Amino acid sequence: MGEPIREVTIVGGGTAGWMTALLLQSMLKGGPEGGVRITLIESPNIPTVGVGEATVPGMPRTLKQGGIDERTFFKTCNASFKLGVVFGHWNVDAEGKRVDYINPFAHPPAIDGVSAAEYALQFGTGGLDFVQCFSPAVDLAAQAKGPRGRGEMPGPPVGFAYHLDAGKFAGLLKEHCVARGVRHVLDDLVEVELDERGYVAALMLERGGRHGVELVIDCTGFRGLIINQALGEPFESYGKYLANDRAMAVQVPHRDPVRLDSVTKSTALGAGWAWRVPLFNRIGTGYVFSSAHRTDEEARAEFLAHLGPDGEGAEPRVIPMRVGRNRNAWVKNCVAVGLSGGFIEPLESTAIHMIDTAVRWLVQYFPDRDFADPLRRRFNHLVDELYNEVRDFICLHYALGNRTDDQYWIDARESLEVPDTLAENLELWQYGLPAVNDIRFVSLFSPATYQAVLLGKQVYESGFGKGKFCSGRTLDGAKWAAYLKRARAGIGAQVQAAAGHRELLRALRGDVVAENGLLPGLGGGPGAAGAGVSEDAAIL
The Cα–Cα gap between 318 and 303 comes to 12
Is residue 522 exposed (0-12), middle (13-18) or buried (19+ Cβ within 10 Å)?
buried
Q: Are 252 and 333 in contact (CB under 8 A)?
A: no
Is residue 328 exposed (0-12), middle (13-18) or buried (19+ Cβ within 10 Å)?
buried
Residue 266, φ and ψ in degrees, nearest 5:
-125, 110
Q: Are 342 and 324 in contact (CB under 8 A)?
A: yes
Cα separation values, 380 from 239, 330, 427, Å: 22, 6, 29
Q: Are 275 and 265 in contact (CB under 8 A)?
A: yes
Q: Which residues pair with 110 in a beta bridge?
A: 115
Q: Is 339 marked as a binding-site residue?
A: yes
Q: Is 13 marked as a binding-site residue?
A: yes
Q: How many CA atoms lie within 13 A of 346 on its CB side?
A: 37
Nearest to residue 280, comparing CAs of 513, 511, 518? 511
- Other Cβ atoms closer than 10 A to 512: 11
Q: Is 14 marked as a binding-site residue?
A: yes
- Other Cβ atoms closer than 10 A to 94: 11
Q: Is 348 marked as a binding-site residue?
A: yes
Residue 139, φ and ψ in degrees, nearest 5:
-70, -40
Residue 34's contacts (CB-CB under 8 Å, 6 or more residues apart) are none
Helix H, strand E, coil C: the string for 423-434 is HHHHHHCCCCCC
Q: Is 118 marked as a binding-site residue?
A: no
Residue 326, φ and ψ in degrees, nearest 5:
-70, 150
The Cα–Cα gap between 289 and 272 comes to 4
Residue 33, φ and ψ in degrees, nearest 5:
-75, -15
Q: How many CA atoms lie within 13 A of 229 on its CB side?
A: 14
Q: Is 82 marked as a binding-site residue?
A: yes
Q: Are 64 and 160 in contact (CB under 8 A)?
A: no
Q: Are 335 and 364 in contact (CB under 8 A)?
A: no
Residue 99's contacts (CB-CB under 8 Å, 6 or more residues apart) are 89, 90, 91, 92, 93, 456, 457, 458
Q: Helices in 78-165 by DSSP H: which ranges? A: 116-123, 137-142
Is residue 17 exposed (0-12), middle (13-18) or buried (19+ Cβ within 10 Å)?
buried
The Cα–Cα gap between 385 and 509 comes to 38
Q: Is 389 marked as a binding-site residue?
A: no
Any idea which residues carry the catalytic annotation?
82
Q: Binding site for FAD, residues?
A: 13-16, 339, 352
Q: Binding site for 7-chloro-L-tryptophan, residues?
A: 82
Q: Binding site for L-tryptophan, residues?
A: 348
